[in-house]
Amino acid sequence: MATAEEVRRRIVEHGASIRDRVIESLPHSYALLVEQVKSISRTYRDFDTYIASLSNIKGLDLLITYVMLVALLSQHETLSDSKLRNLASAYERHVYDVLSASRLRKALEEVGVDRDVANLVISDLLRALNVVNNKHKFLYLWIAKQKKIPDFENDVRRIIFGGKGGNRVGRGVKLFLRLFIHETNIPLAAKITYGQEHRKYVLHGDMYTALVTLRSGAYEDVSALTAERVKARVAKRLLCEAKGGQCRDVVLRLESIRGLVRYVGKISGDPVLFERGAYDIGVRYCRELKCEQCPLRDVCRRHVFIKLK
């Protein structure tokens, strides 16, 4: 039987084999910008040279603005792959390189965003752009200067989300943050990306990531109280099955095990890739119990009786 460490490794490997959903669905015109940032961040470690090179990327702030828009929208809606693709297409048609409230509204309403939600998102976006531009002049400078994840995360929450809290806001904060701190995304915060700092990223802990973490057994070598409670309930269920009785599902509240899921992501060695891999497996396979097609099929515990609410 595979160890929990092996399960985590396989989840991270799957995360490395795919692209982040937001990166995958960027407006076509921005894809080249991502590759330019990757090339520059890998090549220039001297900060002044790095900044000078970034200044030559035309449209970089527009790419960051688009990511801001997606992050803000994610606090109001669950963004499916198809919605992300449609949003990218609408944005490219109506906004592209001419940013205005009316153009943004057309793009959002074209993909079915409620008008009131669209107005909130646009208002927050324009406010955040004004705050960053007043202090840093350019969006890319704000991100490129980041050195510590906690400071960057606090900035994102304060500037983009107006200091608000809650689970939905947290989802948007993490979305924006992870896209700029990892070499497989848009490694603009190079000082975080190419040191050990990116390993301190704390994943959000959504339903699908949590399902895969628990059902696969990726948490089983964790000795924390929450982990021990989950293991005890799983053992009770397995014992019931062995006796041939009518067994209840193990139903857990997401809020009660989110800390455990975050810790498992941390000890995986690369929480960004763990989150990406677990989420993808959760959406594509675990949700519909497609175990025989799953990338974890030969290491997963397949404890599909674990349910979350």
What is the rounded CA–CA span in Å between residue 85 and residue 37? Answer: 22
Q: What pLDDT score does 66 carry?
A: 97
Grouping H, G, I as helix, E, B as strand and the rest as coil, residue 128 is helix
Q: What pLDDT score does 150 carry?
A: 97
Q: What pLDDT score does 100 carry?
A: 94
Q: Which residue has the tokens 């053992």?
A: 235
Q: Which residue has the tokens 């921005």?
A: 30
Instruction: Provide the terminal-to-terminal Cα distance of the chain, rounded to the nearest Å.
Output: 29
Q: What pLDDT score does 245 carry?
A: 83
**pLDDT, tens only, 105-142:** 999 999 999 999 999 999 999 999 999 999 999 999 99
- Which residues, including other chains, have CB under 8 Å from residue 192's CB and lie 6 or more apart? 146, 147, 148, 149, 152, 181, 198
Nearest to 178 by CA among 205, 158, 198, 160: 198
**pLDDT, tens only, 233-245:** 999 999 999 998 8
Can you list the residues of the chain whose pLDDT is less than 50?
A: none
- What pTM value is reported for the model? 0.94
In this structure, the number of other CB atoms found within 10 A of the CB of residue 17 comes to 12
Q: Which two tokens stand for residue 143?
A: 């991100």
Backbone angles phi, psi at 137, to 5 degrees: 75, -45
Backbone angles phi, psi at 202, to 5 degrees: -105, 115
Grouping H, G, I as helix, E, B as strand and the rest as coil, residue 251 is strand
**What does the DSSP 8-state code read for residue 248?**
-
Ramachandran quadrant class, 192 (left: phi over 0; alpha: psi -120 to 50; beta: rest): alpha
Q: What pLDDT score does 255 carry?
A: 96
**pLDDT, tens only, 274-285:** 999 999 999 999
What is the rounded CA–CA span in Å between residue 35 and residue 43? Answer: 12
Q: What pLDDT score does 132 carry?
A: 96
Q: What pLDDT score does 97 carry?
A: 81
**What does the DSSP 8-state code read for residue 125?**
H
- Which residues, including other chains, have CB under 8 Å from residue 134's CB and lie 6 or more apart? none
Residue 308: which H helix or E strand, with range? Answer: strand 306-308
